[in-house]
Structure formats: C-alpha cells, structure tokens
Amino acid sequence: MIEIILAIISLLTSCGWLVSGKKYRQEVRAAQAEAEQKEFDVSKEYVKEFRENIAKPLQEEVQKLRSAIEAVNTCSHRAECPVVDKLHEGAQSRKL
C-alpha cells in the first residue's frame, strides 16, 4: 500500500515537472520573440533616423549640385569658368 502511495506521489511530481518544464519552454520562446521584436524595432528606428538625418539632407544637396551644374550651360561666363573646366577634366578622367 505504501508503495502505491509513493508511486502516485512520484507520478504526480513527475507530471508537475513536465508541466513546469513546458511552461518554462513557453516563457523562453516568448522572451526570444520579444527580444527579436525589440531588435527589429531598433533596426527600424535606425533606418528611419538614417533616412531623416543623412540620406534626405544628402539627397537635397545632390539636387542642388545638379541644378547648379545644369545652370552652368546657360551662364554668360561659361567660357572662362574654372569650375566648368574642372568638371570636364573629371568627366574625361573617369572615361579613361
């Protein structure tokens, strides 16, 4: 009789360990998913900051430079402009 009671207690204890192990694995998976989500959010925020603080201002400066270069063609001082000469030199050196 005592052996049966001990077997039942052992069985119940084993069931408790199995349930707590399953709960632990679920908690670990939830923590991993949360960490991955936080990493994704940080990456997303980094890309947003990069676009706002670096890419967008750089794009605006490139647009200004393009406009200035296009304006050179209609400039009355184009023939003796040192900037135009440097631009032509740079374009020719890239072709080589």
Q: Please report whether residue 64 resides in a domain.
A: yes
96 three-class SS: coil
Task: Look at residue 6 in the predicted model and tell me its pLDDT.
Answer: 64
Give the C-alpha separation, 45 to 53, whole Å.
12
Closest CA to 73 of 93, 87, 63: 87
User: With a cut of 50, which residues of the chain have pLDDT below it?
Assistant: none
User: Is residue 12 one of the residues assigned to a domain?
Assistant: no
The verdict on residue 70 lying in a domain is yes
Q: Which domain holds residue 61?
A: 29-95
Asked if 72 and 78 count as a contact pair (C-beta separation under 8 A), the reply is yes
Position 90 scores a pLDDT of 66
> How far apart are alpha carbons 94 and 62 in whole angstroms?
19
